Structure 1
Amino acid sequence: MRALRLGTRRSRLALAQSGMMAERVRELTGRPVELVEITTYGDISREELAQIGGTGVFVSALREALLRGEIDLAVHSLKDLPTAQPGELVQAAVPARADARDALVARDGLGFAELAAASLAGDRPPPRIGTGSPRRRAQLHAWARQLGCEITTVPLRGNVDTRIGYVRSGALDAVVLAAAGLHRAGLASEITEALPTDAVLPAPGQGALVIECAASDAELIAELSGLDDPPTRVAVTAERALLAALEAGCSAPVGALAGLHADGPGPDPYRPEAAGAAEVTMLHLRGAVGTTDGSTLVQLSATGPVPASPGEALRHADRMGRELAAEMLAKGAAGLMGERAH
């Protein structure tokens, strides 16, 4: 039986994620799976993501390999995918989402509020926090303003080990990374605080993976559907619809998070331990867009019942995302100019 060729980026995190998915594909299909490492432009460039094209720089080489038939499937971090889906490719499965939150890795085991307040005593300058994401910069600065503190954000690229190394060496006071990525890379012990989503909304699709394959491979698409998690797909559909609509109307950094629940939004129904605890009946979506200095932040939310039909549920999620984006644009998001981050 011919092995399935699974394309992956070469980074430690990408290989960990792809290896995890490869094992699940083996169990599901009974077919051997081999990893095919592919270097993307985003992996070799040291420029800021906003300057080299944002999300697509991590996926274009994998997609080209799929279209050429050099690989059978590819695993992406969903937040890395552009919102426009090529007709020749299909998102065959969106497995259950991991922790969607951002995570702080800080000196001395500090949380964000403690770190930001450390300079108030006058014996330290504002903490230097590394992140390559304008979305994170916008919300971190806004949070610091609420606390009456100041922070300095430092543009940052490199793999997770390199970024954490800046904290260990003392070059930075902290870095902010995706919690899911740190868990998958075996670095969860480095997290000093999982940032609350009421302060920092993650990138649309953060924490979720997607398995993509050629639209012409109907047999493989049918097999991979067994890995799909409908609640996760509905949630990320709403988030990405909001992002797509905002991209058309402004260029400011966007955060979004949706969750499915039964009794209306709880204090934080988006953590993995809350999933599956109740019958899914409602979809709650939050969005944030702002200037990178945190001086202006537009935040809105929407809640509505989820239709029982899977197809209708996805259409409802898409519509909710676009409608909330329209409200945000009307509330001032259209006037916010900044670097785009996903």
Structure 2
Amino acid sequence: MTFIIRPARPGDVQQIYEMAKRTGGGFTNLPPDRPSLLTKLERSAEAFERDDDQLDDDRFMFALENTATKQVRGTCQIFAKVGQKWPFYSYRIGALTQHSEELQRTFRADILNLSTDLEGATEVGGLFLHPGERSGGLGMLIARSRYLFIRMHRARFADKTIAELRGVIDDAGGSPFWDSVAGRFFGMSFQDADEFNAKHGNQFIADLMPKHPVYIAMLSEQARAVIGVPHVSGRAAMRMLENEGFSWEKYVDIFDAGPTMTVQTDRITSVRNAREIKIDVIDAPLDREKASKMLVAHGRLNDFKATYGWIIEEEGRVTLDAVAAEALGIGAGDVICAIERNAS
């Protein structure tokens, strides 16, 4: 069974919609709303069609396809430059220290500052893998294929890359953080605000969000406990991001307080350590004692594909297994972008 990553197409909308209904809320980039998803897919198609090297407000949406059944079993996205149509808001955790001579005490208060520091960065997000496929390294394939795409189209992306992780959502689908902070100003539930943001963007945040700092000590205990904490389903994703060089610099999402991870794009492990390799021989089967399992990619923009492949490099010759070559649509003499499956 072979899976490939390829550009998502408007014709994939129904399968992606069915997956979106499984996310459980708080997944802004993959709303369970068919018209919104179709709009995102159409915008993505325009980005893949634009064949130049200009950094712009592009959305690239990818699909994980089972090549045998042609079913879409996962998806992910790259936003080339956030904060262009609407401001890109985050909270950054800071501190205010004050001293009282009369009491002979120093008070330190942690505060949330509304920030647009991350505007202009590239964002990786929207990653979802069908529950029936959460094995065999497919999550890693989806996640890391984005970094190979960035490396292969480097001029189309910013010098900083971010990733927003979904925050803690309770059993009822609500957010303790939203209820304690923004919900008091907006008069709508977390689910309603999240859905509105997914469909219409976050300009309403700019219109209604209080601009003054929020003192964390004044929030409910439940809200304080979830600041900077990823959803239970996002812990593995956070570890993968850390392995790629991302770190948490105290930025959190304004809706659910999930952590926003950041990294310099050229320091992303899969961007920095990937190699361009010319294939000399296509063969099958390969001796697994000699071969290395690698994430391999080929093609520009609409022709981009990524998959796992086995490679042998010996005596100045590079051999790729025939299954991966067929999945990528390549032959001897073609150049691929590749990185070891367990590279760090």
- Give the TM-score range, shorter chain: under 0.3
In terms of fraction of residues, the more strand-rich structure is 2
Q: Answer 1 or 2: higher relative contact order, Cα 8 Å, separation at least 6.
A: 1
In terms of fraction of residues, the more helix-rich structure is 1
Normalised TM-score (structure 1): 0.26
